[in-house]
Structure 1
Amino acid sequence: MATTDTLILNTPRQSTPRAAVWVLIGSSLLIKAAGFAWDFLGYFVSDSLGHGTTVAGAALTCFGIGWCAGLTMAGALTDRFGKRAALTWLMALSSLACFALAVAESMPALLVVSFFLGMTMEIHRPAVSATINDAIDSEAGRTRAQSWLYWASNFGIAICAALGGYLAQHSGYRLLFVINGLACLIFAAIAHRALAPRNLTPCEGASAATYREVFADPALRWIALVAVCGMTCAWGLVSVLPLLMTADNLPPTAYGLVMIANTVTVLALTPPLTRLLVGAGETPKYPIVPTLAVGCGVLGLGVSGAALQHTTIGYALAAGLMVPGEIALSVALAGYISAYAPRHATGRYQAVLSGANAVASLPPLGVALALNAGGRPLVAALLLGTAVVAIVSCRRLHRALPVAAPEISLSSVAPAGNPARSKS
């Protein structure tokens, strides 16, 4: 049988399962709103400390590598020790990384801290997703909750950009990192209070999945490839646009306006598009694979079109047109976790798909080389080609998905089988 770690009302302080979901979604908004260490790392290293863009680029690369490693660790810890323990200890570790960044100055120290900062900044996602899957019975309900998590994260990012710029100008970067660390500690305390400890029997402990078993699922491998390609297009907003707008001699304020246009569109369109794609019933209105393919196609067209722009208005329009693709991609990935992630491996499944976001954050160097070698047409062609790879891979994903989600666990699946989410 698959492991199920339930939320038990041991004490009056613990929330009901559904209430815990909203508490964690709100806490995720807090973490994103105070995510200054993530957003201002490059500025701090290059401008405030005077190390220049090369060291800043190296720090961001270390951050991305740590991001991949941290999600792998977070998924394993969530599945093995439960959501409460994972969130409490991992968010406390994240706070230490933020405090360390506030005192680091030398290049070696900054590179090490950047790695651990990346390792801890997104480690709450597997545990939050596992809480959603355990607390909500219907597949559509779980998908809607995951979509609200996406909306909350974007709302927090918008707050972070506006508030962080003001605080950095008036109080310096180090205060930002201290605030970020305190927010992580608050999240750890909330998780410890809201979630019940895991009741793990010896039999359940022995059935914990490994990443080798998880990657034996061909559907997960294909959707991970699609996610990497789709996220690469989505990350074009922060990896491609700054390079192109700098080449057009547009000021940083122009890039800020473009990001505001994208974020406002995300906040406005996420609720109605989620209702359209998921519906109000017990099962999602539209299948996962077509939604995923359409989302990647829209992202590819939007970011490749952005590569050919030269004005602030043009970039802003392209950034806004990408939003329906971002939402469709998010809804489809959430739907996959809701329908096909086994209860005792939800953390690892979410870590794999969140890791696609981390992998997609690494290509800026390749984009810069393509821009120098072939100019904007080459950059646009590469980005559009990435979206085409995602769309073609969706066909293989469709073949790999089971017709229905059987009630089986990973331990009962042959190496080439398709594990599905088991119901308690």
Structure 2
Amino acid sequence: MATDVPLGTLLTAPARTARSVVFILIASSLAVKAGGFAWDFLSYYVATGTGHGTAAAGAALTVFGVGWCLGQAGSGLLTDRLGQRTALTVLMLLSAAACFALVLARSLPSLLTVSLFLGMTMEAHRPAVSSAINDAIDSDAGRTRAQAMLYWSANIGIAICGGAGGYIAHHHGYRGLFLVNGVVCLGFALVARRTLSARPPATERQALTYRQVLSDPALRWIGVAAVFAMICAWGLVSVLPLLMTADGLPPTAYGTAMIANTVSVLVLTPPMMRFLVGRGEQLKYPLAPILATGSAILGMGITVAALQHTTLGYSIAAAILVPGEICYSVAIGAFISTAAPAGAAGRYQAVLSAAQAIASLPPLGIALALDAGGRVLVAALLSFSALIAVLACRPLARALRSTAGSAQAEDRALASTGAQ
């Protein structure tokens, strides 16, 4: 991981190195995901904590996903226009306020309203953190490793959140969890204020528009793949609670499944990262095949989960998902680190985060499918989603080759002009 990049415009404290900034941001991202109880336990809180039932829980998760889509566009814009420090500080303060509001919400209309604002702010840190990582590291492989570790930290955080929160909620209720979530968000806002510079880099002040960003065919195809792959991946925190609630299993069973996922992430991430990315300055493998493989594994894991009825079965399925999560993280990290133009990293990350947000919308459909067709219908829908993600990787690979070929042709033309 390169650490010799000038950081005067990035860091508040000149003594900090790029490595320390990246470490602080990834660790803070892990903490905010580990304390993300408002999202992880939103469905349980709506369904059983307030007594509104499974369908209402699916509706709350769907509204959360709508808010997530809306919030990502705004967070990417804030990051590229105002700078990482301002965007991260403001958005995490708003996220804390939404968590505290959830403590007070009881009626279904108020719960749905709060769910919308939770969605708008809960993942709002991702564009700013990704942009800061790209600024701090100057090699493709180094940025990819850091971006992949950012996704890895999110997976670890989510698993810790489910494992710890399940037992806490069972013994102490849900409202304390949401208070902790708000405090963690406040902490991340303070870290951003201390770690990042107050002024955006000059390249970010000349950021591309969303129209220009979305004209990139590679971004559009990887967005399609991300939507359908993440429908399977987010099943860990959305579909699983719905299925386990239908089976009458307590929050402790969900916590056990998340612990199985956490252990698998800890064991498998280091060797898989070495295999997929390597230790050099250049990427070891093309990202499209990695993404296709990860999508297939995610589909297999969540399909297995849809057919389970016991804590052990759900725990095994949660572990199966992990290699797919790692492949997905590496592929998305590689794309952000190599394809995002200068000044547009926030928007590129926002588009992909919005794709993941769209993937969080199906819980209401899954709840209805569970009532209408049972586990087999749910499994079929999830398998079909994974298939679409795999198929989208073929045009993605073509678009990436075309972009690379155009860049090489431009470099040759510039070299020829210089020689003359």
Q: For this structure pair, what is the TM-score category when the shorter chain's length is used for normalisation?
A: 0.7 to 0.9
Q: Is the 8 A contact 2:159 2:261 kept in 1?
A: no
Rounded Cα–Cα distance in structure 2 between residues aligned with 1:81 and 1:324: 36
Identity of aligned residues (%): 62
Distance 1:166 1:197, change over 3 A: same
**What's the counterpart of residue 349 of structure 1?**
348
1:273 aligns with 2:272: yes
Distance 1:249 1:176, change over 3 A: closer
Letter of the 1:16 partner, please give it: T
1:287 aligns with 2:286: yes
Which 5+ residue runs of structure 2 have no aligned equivalent? 410-420
Letter of the 1:191 partner, please give it: A
Rounded Cα–Cα distance in structure 2 between residues aligned with 1:315 and 1:106: 31
Worse overlay, 340-349 or 258-267: 258-267
Q: Aligned runs of 1:219-230 on 2, under 5 Å?
A: 219-230=218-229
Worse overlay, 349-358 or 57-66: 57-66
Rounded Cα–Cα distance in structure 1 between residues aligned with 2:232 and 2:153: 21
Q: Is the 8 A contact 1:75 1:348 kept in 2?
A: yes
Q: Is the 8 A contact 1:154 1:267 kept in 2?
A: no
Deviation, 1:36, is 1.8
Rounded Cα–Cα distance in structure 2 between residues aligned with 1:101 and 1:80: 30
**What's the counterpart of residue 179 of structure 1?**
180
Worse overlay, 213-222 or 395-404: 395-404
Worse overlay, 94-103 or 70-79: 94-103
Q: Is the 8 A contact 2:42 2:61 kept in 1?
A: yes
Deviation, 1:380, is 2.8
**What's the counterpart of residue 414 of structure 1?**
none
Q: Is the 8 A contact 1:240 1:367 kept in 2?
A: yes
Worse overlay, 58-67 or 268-277: 58-67
Distance 1:138 1:382, change over 3 A: same
Partner of 2:343: helix, strand, or coil? helix
Partner of 2:228: helix, strand, or coil? helix
Letter of the 2:197 partner, please give it: A
Distance 1:384 1:12, change over 3 A: closer
Q: Tell me the alpha carbon deviations over residues 73-121 of structure 1, each in whole angstroms, 9 at most, x when there is no partner.
A: 1111101111111111111111111222222333333222221111111
Distance 1:313 1:45, change over 3 A: closer
Distance 1:140 1:299, change over 3 A: same
Partner of 1:400: helix, strand, or coil? helix
**What's the counterpart of residue 324 of structure 1?**
323
Worse overlay, 286-295 or 262-271: 262-271
TM-score by length of 1: 0.86
**What's the counterpart of residue 397 of structure 1?**
396
**What's the counterpart of residue 115 of structure 2?**
114
Deviation, 1:262, is 2.0
Which 5+ residue runs of structure 1 have no aligned equivalent? 409-424
Distance 1:125 1:306, change over 3 A: same
Q: Tell me the alpha carbon deviations over residues 103-144 of structure 1, each in whole angstroms, 9 at most, x when there is no partner.
A: 233333322222111111110000100011110111111111
Worse overlay, 335-344 or 33-42: 33-42
**What's the counterpart of residue 144 of structure 2?**
143
**What's the counterpart of residue 73 of structure 1?**
74
Deviation, 1:17, is 2.9
Q: Is the 8 A contact 1:75 1:126 kept in 2?
A: yes
Distance 1:88 1:243, change over 3 A: closer
Partner of 2:154: helix, strand, or coil? helix
Rounded Cα–Cα distance in structure 2 between residues aligned with 1:137 and 1:405: 22
- Alignment RMSD: 2.8
TM-score by length of 2: 0.87
Letter of the 1:57 partner, please give it: G
Deviation, 1:161, is 2.6
Worse overlay, 293-302 or 283-292: 293-302
**What's the counterpart of residue 190 of structure 2?**
189
Letter of the 1:326 partner, please give it: E
Larger helix percent: 2
